[in-house]
Homo-oligomer: A and B are copies of this chain.
Amino acid sequence: MTNMDSVSVRVFSLNCWGIRYLSKYCPQRYAMIGEMLCKEQHDIVLLQEVWSEKDYLFLKKKLASCHPHSHYFRSGVIGSGLAIFSKHRIRDTFLYRYSLNGYPYMAHHGDWFGGKAVGMAILNLGSLTANVYVTHLHAEYSREKDSYLPHRVVQAWELQQFIRHTSAGADVVILGGDLNMHPQDLGNRLLRAYTGLQDSYLETAKFDGCENGMTLIADNPFISKKELVPFEKGIRIDYILFKGSSKADVHCDSMSTTKGSVPNHPFPYSDHEALTAELRLEPRTPAETGSDRQSKNKDSATGKLAELVDIVTEARTEVKVGLHCAERMRYTAARTGVMGLALLFLELVIAAVPYLALGAEQPFPRTSFYLLAVLCFAMLLTTSMLYIFYTMELKSLQEAEDQMRLGIGSLQEKLKGFRLAQLHNPSRRPPEVQEPGAFEPEE
């Protein structure tokens, strides 16, 4: 049968570092990227940090013949920076904007303006339906004192929620992007454990690329070594993840990364390394489906479920830290606002009392009076806006925490069911059949 043949899919992911006029050699690098993509003819190309629509349009034109289907995901002020190019027809797209994404006043970090999101595209690969996701999470500016950690954990939570809930109808799931998380970071563990997504670097049969699959390396001329401390050689923060379903198995036949330079070019494609994974999709027969599921479940379901409960609990703790912090900041904003109001009141009293009571000349120098009033108004305005912003941050953190609490409850309930089943009949499989490797309360 034709639809039982395996399908080979080459997936490419790159953070393009495409800040016009700020990123070095931006136009030259896009030209290089376009040429390489034309030559390599990947099935699916997932790009991040394509901040300018003009650059997207340049690539779209350049790749018109080899990648006729594409979508540029727009959000925030300067766009999400996410783009997908595909050889295969894109049937549908959807965008989820993360509820938390840094602070607008941290303009030098710029993440808030980027409107970080996860984009989804649905396409057919052979007889299979593939949900392809591309995302870019909030950057980590300091590993020791990472004030954005709760935001990134909430983003990872929302990412796994989005993927889990939108991929029930998919035969194959592929996620590529810059997660800004090391392989064992909390958000990464949360994402993989909850969705069952597998890391192509860890699963690949063949690998050719940087040591430990690193994607931000000291050997890249655009990287300042100071930024990488204490990771001398580099870090791995870009990923291609995948997962099969009851209808298809997915294997990673080979994977590669660029190594900080491009032959015959004076500089690399970006400050990040590019990733390429060659996935083999093998449609399952209904018979395989049953037996395979059963054997997988018997082995490790309970252990994995217990681990997932621990990870979600850890994430919840992190969100609580964020909640505490946001509450403190909102309190500070409120207090400063009240001080501004008090100052304004005081000024008016000082100015008015001698004038009204004594009928004397205005003793307050006019200039100082106006300057002080302006200062008070500015204080009031700024603190009001901050108060509103922190309130929104609090709502999002609380929502994520609530969802996590509820999720932990569901998982524990399921765990109890598993354990009871094992107790009564240790050789039988758990009562509810699961996707291999994934624990989805809704499945």
Contact = CB atoms under 8 A, between A and B. Distances in A.
Main secondary structure of the interface of A (DSSP, over half): mixed
A429 interface: no
Contact of A371 (B89, B370, B398): B370
Q: Categorize the interface residue count of chain A.
A: 35 or more
Interface of A: 71-77, 79, 89-97, 99, 115, 120, 122, 129, 131, 161-162, 165-170, 366-367, 370-371, 374, 388, 391-392, 395-396, 398-399, 402-403, 406-407, 410, 413, 440-443
Nearest to A119: B399
A54 to B, nearest CB: 14
Given A77-B388, A366-B367, A370-B371, A94 B403 contact: yes
Nearest to A120: B165
Contacts of A167: 168
Contacts of A77: 388, 391-392, 395
Given A122-B442, A406-B93, A74 B398 contact: yes
Contact of A96 (B76, B96, B122, B129): B96
A441 B392 contact: no
28 contacts: A71-B402, A71-B406, A74-B395, A74-B396, A74-B398, A74-B399, A75-B392, A75-B396, A76-B395, A77-B392, A79-B395, A90-B406, A91-B442, A92-B406, A92-B410, A92-B441, A93-B402, A94-B162, A94-B403, A95-B99, A95-B399, A115-B395, A122-B442, A167-B168, A168-B168, A367-B367, A370-B371, A370-B374
A167 B94 CA distance: 14
A73 B168 contact: no
A54 B388 CA distance: 19
Contacts of A129: 442-443
Contacts of A120: 165
Contacts of A374: 370, 374
Contact of A370 (B92, B370, B399): B370
Contacts of A443: 129, 169
